[in-house]
Every structure is written in structure tokens, then in C-alpha cells.
A and B are shown apart, each in its own frame.
Chain A
Amino acid sequence: MAAYIARRLLFVVLVLVAVSMLVFGATALLPANVAYLILGQFASPEQVKALELKLGLTDPVYVQYWRWASGILRGDLGESTLMNRPIGPLLWDAISKSLILTLVSFVCIAVIGVGLGVVAALRHGRALDHGVSIATYLGIAIPEFFWAIVVILVFAAWLGWLPSAGYEPLSAGFATWAKHLVAPVMTLVFGHLAHVSRLTRSSMIEVMQSPYVTAARAKGLPERVIVLHHALRNALLPTITVLALDFGRLMGGIVVVETVFAYPGLGRLIVFSIQNRDLPTLQASILVVAAIYALANLIADLLYARLNPKIRFGRNVA
């Protein structure tokens, strides 16, 4: 197990190195003049030249990459070209706000999604199952930004229960803080629930039809024991992987949701940095997202290994 963890950790590090190259390479290699982008189309050639020198853009790409990457290793994420401030504190503030949003949403998705999936599978072919299936089709078809509009329309414009946008710190009172969180969380949950419940349902149905569940029935075990003891554990194994994947999708989802709800997190920072051609901030933000995602995958892998005896014990008794 220790060797397994070590291997997975090494893999995460390698992926992050590769992602950093990708992130840097995509912005460095695409046919665009960065200095020109920053200064706008009316910049004089001299101004462009000066900025290029200042940013080190005249150096070969690998030198630029090394300067950037070694800086990150030292904890220096560089400076925002727009705000002329170090990116580090800016990013940490955004991440903490985004993590609250994604973690709350993730817990809701995991609990409700798995629950719906299991219940639908146990009622396979009946009205409840069909209801969940139809809702799932809808859920997968509606993009987050449309969910956001619907949530605003219903809960802010019509019912007036929730603020339509913005963020209030916890110091403004728990109720105010939570109230501003509800709409974006709801949007993320609606947008991602279907995926989890759909896969949980199909995996649960498959397990309930497996020979070992039939064998458990042949032993005369009560249905409750069969579901809880025999089926659920095996059915949830693939769901763990799916949940990790969905955490990654959630990290993508915050881009749209934070933009719509003017929520000052990582997603809005990314859009903001793109709109303002702030490449260092963009690169650092996407690298951080990749790191969080890789971490989520790592946790899922370890959890999977913990629950799956085939990985937990590599030994052979017989």
C-alpha cells in the first residue's frame, strides 16, 4: 500500500510538471504578441520593445519557462501585469472563496446524487426510476449558465428570497454569508447532479443483477442486508472515480457560475485575467486548478484502493 501511495504521488507530480509546460507553452507558443496584447493595438513599436525586454519575452521559450517554473517552486507566482501586485495573495483569497463554493456543492452532489441513483436502481423499471431518468436527461442537457439564469429568475427576481449576485464575508454575519452562497451552490448542484446519479444508478443496477447478489439471495438473506452489505459497496467503487471526475468538472463550472453571480473566486479571476490579458495570473490560476483536481483524483484513487481488496492486498494466499 505504501508503494502504491508513493507511485501515485510521483504520478501527480509528473502530471503537474507536464501541465505547467502545457499552460506555459499554450500561451507562449500560440501565434500572438503578448506585449502587443497587453498594450493594445495603438502601442508604438518602442513601447512594445521596452515591455518585451521588461517581461523577458525576448529570451528563448525554455529560459522563460525555467524562470517561471523555478519561481513557482520558490513560492513566487510572479506579478500580475494588470494590477502590478504579486499573484500569490490574490490567488489564495480567490481559492479559499472558490473552495467553499465547490466543497459545499460537492457534498450536496455526492449525497443527493448517490442517493437518487441508488433509490432509482432499487426501484428499477418503476415510476420513481422513470422520473429520475427523465430528470437526469434534463439535468445533463441544461448548461450551468442557463441554470444560473433560471435560479436568478425564480429565486431572486420572482420570489425575492435570495440576492441575485455578490459575496459577503463571514464577518457580515453567518446568515448573510450563507444567503449569498445558496444561489451559486444551487446552480452547481443542478448542473452536476445528473451525471453522478445516472452513473450510480447504472452501476447499482449492474451489481444487483450480478451472480453474487443472486447467490446472496439464494442464502435467504433479507433484502436490506443484500443491498447494504453485498451490493452498495461494490456499486459505489466506480462512483468514487466518477465523483473525482465531477470534482474536476465543478472546478470548471465555477468559471461560469462565479462570473454570473459576481462571486470573487478563482473562476472570476481567470475570466478577469483573460479579459485583461493578464497572462501570469491566468497561468498561475490554471496551474492551481490542475493541482486541486490532481489532488482530488489522488484522494479518490487512495479511497478506491482502500475499499477494493484486490488493490489493498496484493498477496496470494492459495
Chain B
Amino acid sequence: MSLQLKAGLLITGTIVILGLLAPWIAPHPWDTISMRTRFLAPNATYWLGTDEFGRDVLSRLLMGTRLSLAMGVSATLVSLAIGVPIGLAAGYFRGRIDEILMRAADVLMAVPPIMLGLLVLAVTPPALWKTALAVGFVYVPPIARVARAVTLSLANEEFIQAAKARAESTPYILFREILPNAWPPLIVEASLRVTYAILLGSALSFLGLGAQPPSSDWGLMISEARSFIDRAPWIALAPGFAMCALVIGINLLGDGARERLDPRLKARIGKA
């Protein structure tokens, strides 16, 4: 196992476990307001200090982990569920279908992702699940493009010709011959998208179009802490560094996984 993969597993694994166990391991209630404990700097009782409502930053951070993970994973699942079939179809059938689908993707990609998200969220009352859906929708085109590129190159492989030469059905070729080989690049791309989704989702929350107070979403925490940045920087820094660690962990995992998942790449390294 490469160093990258190990580090990625360690960081991501720790954060996921902390997030899952958050309600049980959080030292304090995450949403109890207490005016007596406002703006306490990190100390023995409140390891990461308290915020403007006297809530424990560490406990809020731990609870926020779940929101970030849920945002990243659910949005990416939405993109994969829509993007992969589109990409497979475009890459395999080529011709007009390909043309239409990819031009549609071009149009969506002509608007920066955050604005596309804003557009979707502009007319409905904000809620975290809507943000996740919007983020997932925004990242459909890049996923579809990767799926298409992989399918295009695989469709030229001789084993696809061999499948046609024994009269295999199109669904069999798409899902049993092509898709298993398309997974490695798709997983790498998806891991990248999980981090993008976490960052975009938190940016939308930061702008007030995602999670709403008193939620402990990291983006929202940073947004709320902005006004007290010179007085109590720890309120903003803690979720910022947490997000940074999570994104780095997932990126390392994705890069490390790419080398492991591709048997041909592995064979090439072994032979060289």
C-alpha cells in the first residue's frame, strides 16, 4: 500500500469515525445556548473554546462533520446516478445522442458551478437537502464527461468487438464489459467530486443558501464567526482546519486508490 493511500485512509477514516460517533463522544451539547460561557478561548473544559452563544466549538465541529460528509456523499451519488448512464450512452452510441448530450453539458459548464447552485437555490427557501441536490446536479456534466471519455476509449478495445462477435446485447456490453473497467477512473473522479461537493456545499451555506442556524454546518459556522474574527478567531479556524483535513484526506485516498484499482497500470509498473 502506498504512503498516499495509508495517509488518506488514516485521515479520512478518523474523521468518518468521529463523525459517526459524534452524538456520543461530543463533550458538551452542541446547541445549548449559555450566555455565561460566551467567547471562551480554548481551555481544559472547552478544548476548542466557545462561540458567541457560549456553545462548545468542539461539539459543534463533531456534529458538523456528519453534515459535511452527508453533503459530499449524497451530492456525489446524485451526480453519479445521473452522470454515469448519460456518459455511457454518449460514449457508446456516439453520433447524434452524443452530440446532444455533450452540448447540453457544455451549456451547464458555461456557468460557474457556484452560480448554477445559486440559480437553483434562489427561488426556494433554503434547506440543506436542497443544497445537496443542487450541488449534485451541478456536478453531473463533469462526471458524464469522464464516463464518456472512458467509454469512448473502451469501446475501441478488441474485447468489445469480441462481445459483439458473439451477439451480446447492448446492456450486457455496457454494464458487464464496459462499466467494470470504467469504475477506476470514475471512482477517482467521484472522490474528487466529493471534495468539490463539500467545498461548494459549505460555500453555499456560508452565503446563507444552505444550512440554517442553529445548524452546526462548517460553512455556516465560519460565516457566523466572521463578525468576531478579531475577538475570537478560534470559532472560525476550527471548522476551517477540519474541512481542510477532510478534503486532503479524501484527495489522498482518491489518488492512492487510482494506482491500486487499475490492474493494467499495476501490471505496467510491475513490468517496467
Contacts and interface: CB of A to CB of B under 8 A. Distances in A.
B110 A256 contact: no
Contacts of A274: 118, 121-122, 209
B244 A138 contact: yes
Interface in B102-136: 103-104, 106-108, 110-115, 118-124
B107 A19 contact: yes
Contacts of B110: 15-16, 19, 248, 290, 293-294, 297
Contact of A27 (B103, B113, B119, B195): B119
Interface stretch (A139-147, A211-219, A235-243): A139-147
Contacts of B108: 22
Contacts, number: 133
Nearest to A274: B122
Interface of A: 15-16, 18-19, 22-23, 26-27, 30-32, 34, 37, 137-138, 140-146, 149-150, 152-153, 157, 248-249, 251-253, 255-256, 259-260, 270-271, 274-275, 279, 282, 286, 289-290, 293-294, 297
B106 A15 contact: yes
Given A32-B124, A145-B222, A140 B243 contact: no
B223 interface: yes
B86 interface: no
B257 interface: no
Nearest to A293: B110
Contacts of B229: 149, 152-153, 157
Given A27-B119, A149-B236, A153-B233, A140 B251 contact: yes
Nearest to A21: B107
Nearest to A18: B107
A32 B244 CA distance: 36
30 contacts: A15-B107, A15-B110, A22-B107, A22-B108, A22-B111, A23-B111, A23-B119, A27-B123, A30-B123, A32-B124, A137-B251, A138-B244, A143-B243, A145-B202, A145-B203, A146-B222, A150-B240, A157-B230, A248-B110, A251-B115, A253-B114, A255-B114, A255-B118, A255-B203, A256-B206, A271-B207, A279-B122, A279-B123, A293-B110, A297-B110
B122 A143 contact: no
Contact of B248 (A16, A18, A137): A137
Q: Which 4 A-B pairs have the closest CB atoms?
A: A252-B112, A141-B247, A146-B240, A32-B123
Given A15-B106, A30-B123, 5 more contacts: A145-B219, A146-B243, A256-B207, A286-B115, A289-B115
Interface in B189-214: 195, 199, 202-203, 206-209
Nearest to B121: A274
A282 B202 CA distance: 21
Nearest to A143: B199
B266 interface: no
A141 B207 contact: no
Which of the four size classes fits the interface of chain B? 35 or more
B111 A19 contact: yes
A217 B121 CA distance: 56
Given A19-B111, A143-B202, A146-B244, A286 B222 contact: no
Contacts of B244: 138, 141-142, 146
A15 B104 CA distance: 9
B226 interface: yes
Contacts of B123: 26-27, 30, 32, 34, 37, 279
A252 B226 contact: no
Interface in B222-254: 222-223, 225-226, 229-230, 233, 236-237, 240, 243-245, 247-248, 251-252
A253 B104 CA distance: 23
Contacts of B206: 145, 256
Contact of A259 (B115, B124, B207): B207
Contacts of B226: 149, 260
Contact of A256 (B114, B119, B230, B252): B114
